[in-house]
Amino acid sequence: MTRHSGMRQVSRSRRPRGSSKNIWGGLIIVAVLVGFIGVGLTTFFLNSKKTTLDPLTLCPSSGVESKTVILIDRTDPLDEMQQRELEIYLRDIKASIPIHASISIYGMDQAESKMLEPEIFVCNPGDGKNISPWLANPALIKKIWQKKFSDKLDSTIARLMEPLEVPNSPIMETIKTVSIAEFIGEKNKAIKKRFVIVSDMIQHTLSYSQYTQSADFQAYKRNSAYQHHLADLNGVKVEIIYIRRHNSNNVQGKSHIQFWQQYVHSMGGVLIKVKSIN
């Protein structure tokens, strides 16, 4: 009786052959299904967050969170070394534009009282470096970035570096024009604003000329031209790429830069950088 009972116990403890394989197979199938669901949910989430871009400007239809505006003074020529150095700085600025942020470039001529249109207005769509090939086509994104952003900026900058050699340099008037076009209004209040001015910064018009008047900001404020030059630079971070003129040492220099620092501050902006190109 005892032997038969033991034999029955042994036979009960046996499992059907292949049951372990079935369990592991089921677990693998479940894991694969969970993976597919995860990828699907991730793709859905990313696509739902995908930014819709304007086909011409490449800017988000919802608007930009930051903008860079460049003003290039064309009223005097650059020598070859200055031009090469400027190209490097402008290339660095282009590389610093965040994805979906805008860049506008204006050229300054001798016009004192007309509104200017940007020579180019475009947003950085991104070059596809950090895009997964599962979610998009990095090569196509890179092609769009190259053709519609990078190359267009380079050609615009090259054209604006060709001088006009005109008698007047209405720097203050042009700053005012750009401020109206780019910085004022409710839609610009929450936007990060960067303003890069490429110029020798020597204002020269009939109403006010730094060739004949000292770089004394308080004296300038007493000039009637000051009220005419008032611009709204509130919340704007200003950078100056300061083109040195070898025949203007009596005008340019430390006191001249201090004048422009006071000017920017009086208009509500902050001069954060001055880079000289000699």
The whole-number pLDDT of residue 276 equals 96
Considering the domain architecture, whether residues 25 and 119 belong to the same structural domain is answered as: no
The whole-number pLDDT of residue 166 equals 81
The whole-number pLDDT of residue 2 equals 46
Residue 7 CA, distance from chain mean position = 82
Considering the domain architecture, whether residues 35 and 106 belong to the same structural domain is answered as: no
The whole-number pLDDT of residue 140 equals 85
Q: How many domains does the chain have?
A: 2
61 in a structural domain: no
Considering the domain architecture, whether residues 12 and 104 belong to the same structural domain is answered as: no
Element (H, E) at 241: strand 236-243
The whole-number pLDDT of residue 48 equals 38
193 in a structural domain: yes
Do the beta carbons of residue 104 and residue 67 sit within 8 Å? yes
Give the separation between CA 242 and CA 162, rounded to whole angstroms: 17
The whole-number pLDDT of residue 44 equals 37
143 in a structural domain: yes
Residue 100 CA, distance from chain mean position = 8
35 in a structural domain: yes
58 in a structural domain: no
Considering the domain architecture, whether residues 121 and 224 belong to the same structural domain is answered as: yes
Angle at 246 between CA 240 and CA 252, to 5 degrees: 45
Considering the domain architecture, whether residues 36 and 151 belong to the same structural domain is answered as: no
pTM: 0.80
Q: What is the mean pLDDT of each run of 10 residues along the chain (278 residues)?
A: 46 52 59 47 41 88 94 91 94 95 91 81 84 64 91 94 85 95 92 97 94 90 92 97 92 96 97 96
State which residues form the domain around 114: 66-277
The whole-number pLDDT of residue 164 equals 81
Considering the domain architecture, whether residues 178 and 252 belong to the same structural domain is answered as: yes
Give the separation between CA 81 and CA 92, rounded to whole angstroms: 17
The whole-number pLDDT of residue 46 equals 37
